[in-house]
Amino acid sequence: MPLHHRDTVREEIESCIFASIELENELPKYRFPEAETRPDVAFQVVHDELLLDGNARQNLATFCQTWEEPQVHALMDMAIDKNLIDQDEYPQSAEIERRCVHMLADLWNAPDAANTVGTSAIGSSEAAMLAGMAALRRWRNKRKAEGKTIVQPNMVCGPVQVVWHKFARYWDVEIREIPMGPNQYCLTPEDVTARVDENTIFVVPTLGVTYTGIYEPVEALSQELDALQERTGLDIDIHVDGASGGFLAPFCAPDVQFDFRLPRVKSINASGHKFGLAPLGSGWVIWRDAKELPEELIFHVNYLGGDMPDFHINFSRPAGQIIAQYYNFIRLGRGGYRSIHDACYETGAYLAGEIPNLGPFELLASSDAATGIPAVTWRIAEGQEPGYTLFDLADRLRNRGWQVPAYTLTGGASDVAVQRVLVRQGVDRDLASLLLDDFKAAIDHFAKHPVSVGMTKEESGGFSHL
C-alpha cells in the first residue's frame, strides 16, 4: 500500500459509522444502486429503518410467535441455506419433516399415525389451500365414478379467515359462509345441514374463529352430519381449520373432540408459527389416512437429484422453520406445551376479569380452554355511549406501543365493533398488568377529552381487522 494512502485508510477504520461518506446522502429507494456499500453501513441503515416498526412483543393483534428460545435462533442460522424441497441434498431435513407429520398425526389421534400422510407448508393458509384442493379432487373423483356431473362445487363454513375466500375464488368453488347474527358469532350444526347438498366438497369448522377466538362445535357438527346421512344418504366430509386451536386443545382441553377421533374429519390444518411456537413460516396439513390425499395431486420431480414427491403451492422452501418446529416438539413434549399454553390462558383470564371493570365493556370471549383460544374479546355494552369508540381506544393505546385491534364483525353483526387481545407465549402477567395500566390511562384521558361520538372507524383512524 502506498504510504500516502495509509492515513486515509486509518481514518476509514477509526471513524464513526455515521461519519462515513455513504451516509452523507439519502440511500437508494426506487432505483437499483450502481455501486456496492460497505456491509457495516448497509446493516446499520437497514437496522435503523426497522426501528420504525412496532415492538412485536406489544403486538396483541397477531396470532404469530414473537419470542423464541436462543436455541431456535441458532438452529435457524444453521438452516439458512437449506432448501427443504431438495430432499436429495438435505435428506435429514426431509426426515425431520416426516417425523413432525407423524407426531402431529399422533397428536390429532389419526388411526394409524405412523403411516398417514401430511406435509409442511409456509403457513396455515397454504396448508388450508392444499386441504381444499384434496377435498375438491376427492369430490370430483367420487362424482365421476358415480357418473354424475362435476359442476358447481361448494363448501360450507362459518365466519372464516380470508384464505377460504381465496380458495373458493381461485378454484371456482362456491363458498356458503354462514353469517354472524345478533349474539351468534359462529356456525351451528343446524345452519350447516341447511346448506349442504350433493355438490358440497366439505364443511370447514374453525377451531378458533379469527374474530372472537371461540371454537366451533366440530363434534356436534359431525353428529349432525351423521344424522343427515342416515336421513338422506349425503356423506359430507369435514376439514378442520385448526390454525390456532389445533396446537391448543390437545394439550389444554383434550376432551374437546375436533380431530381424527371423529371418522368424518378427513384433514386438519394448523399454524406451526402460532401456538405451535415455531418461527414464522411454518404450517401443517395432515390427512386422516393416505387415501384421503388423491395420488394424482402429487408431483414427482428429479431435476434436483433423486425422486422428490411434491404437493405444495410453493416449491423452494426454507427448512429452518421445520427444524425449529421439531426442536420444540422434542424440547417441550406434551407437558411443556401444556405448561406454556396454560400460562397463556391464565393471563387471558386475568385480563378478562379486569377489562369489564375499566369501562362499559361486555365480553364476547374470555380465554376459556374448553371453548376457545387464549383470547379476550369485548365490545362496548349495547346502549352505552362512553364518549369514545373502541377505535379511539386502539389508537390511544398505540401511542404507548400496544397494538390492540378494534374491528367490526361480519354478516348480521357487522354493526358490532369489538376489540381483542391475543395472549401467546411471551405475554406474561406483568406485561398484561402494564397493558391494563395504559388501558385505564387511555380511558381517563377520554373522560376528560371525549372524542369520536358518532364517527366512523375510518374517521377515527381506527384499526382494520388483522
Give the domain range for residue 35. 3-53
Instruction: Assess whether 17 and 96 both reside in one domain.
Output: no
Instruction: Assess whether 168 and 45 both reside in one domain.
Output: no
Instruction: Assess whether 266 and 197 both reside in one domain.
Output: yes
Torsion of CA 241, 244, 247, 248, to 10 degrees: -120
Site of grid cell 435457524? 76
Residue 142 in domain: yes
* Residue from 23, 70, 21, 78 nearest 47 by CA: 23
* Tens-digit pLDDT profile for residues 252-286: 999 999 999 999 999 999 999 999 999 999 999 99
Instruction: Place 450 in a pLDDT band, splitting at 50, 70 and 90.
Output: confident
* Tens-digit pLDDT profile for residues 67-95: 999 999 999 999 999 998 888 888 899 99
Task: Provide the CATH number for the domain around residue 96.
Answer: 3.40.640.10
* Tens-digit pLDDT profile for residues 410-421: 999 999 999 999
Instruction: Assess whether 160 and 274 both reside in one domain.
Output: yes
Instruction: Assess whether 422 and 307 both reside in one domain.
Output: no
* Tens-digit pLDDT profile for residues 315-362: 888 999 999 999 999 999 999 999 999 999 999 999 999 999 999 999
Given a contact cutoff of 8 angstroms between Cβ atoms, the answer to whether 390 and 311 are in contact is no
Instruction: Place 163 in a pLDDT band, splitting at 50, 70 and 90.
Output: very high
When pLDDT is averaged across residues 436-460 and rounded to a whole number, the result is 77
Higher local confidence (pLDDT), 174 or 116: 174
Residue 139 in domain: yes
Whole-number pLDDT of residue 460: 42
Each residue of 318-342: b (16+ CB within 10 Å) or e?
bbbbbbbbbbbbeebeeeebbebbe
Residue 459 in domain: no
Instruction: Assess whether 243 and 374 both reside in one domain.
Output: no
Instruction: Assess whether 399 and 313 both reside in one domain.
Output: no
When pLDDT is averaged across residues 444-466 and rounded to a whole number, the result is 61
Task: Provide the CATH number for the domain around residue 366.
Answer: 3.90.1150.160
**Residue 240 predicted with pLDDT over 70:** yes
* Tens-digit pLDDT profile for residues 203-213: 999 999 999 99
Instruction: Assess whether 241 and 305 both reside in one domain.
Output: yes
**Residue 466 predicted with pLDDT over 50:** no
Residue 240 in domain: yes
Instruction: Place 445 in a pLDDT band, splitting at 50, 70 and 90.
Output: very high
Residue 266 in domain: yes
Residue 162 in domain: yes
Strands 417-422, 375-380: parallel, antiparallel or unpaired by DSSP?
antiparallel
Whole-number pLDDT of residue 22: 78
Whole-number pLDDT of residue 24: 79
Instruction: Assess whether 326 and 198 both reside in one domain.
Output: yes
Instruction: Please count the structural domains in the chain.
Output: 3
Instruction: Assess whether 301 and 379 both reside in one domain.
Output: no
How far are the Cα atoms of 29, 96, 210, 347, 378 from residue 407, in angstroms, in the given order?
33, 40, 11, 23, 11
Amino acid (one-letter) located at 314: N
Strand partners, 103: none
Residue 247 in domain: yes
Given a contact cutoff of 8 angstroms between Cβ atoms, the answer to whether 247 and 88 are in contact is no
Residue 336 in domain: no
Cβ neighbors of 125 (< 8 A, separation 6 or more) are 161, 163, 166, 283
Instruction: Assess whether 143 and 87 both reside in one domain.
Output: yes
Kindly state the cell numbers that stand for 18. 455515521
Instruction: Assess whether 350 and 238 both reside in one domain.
Output: no
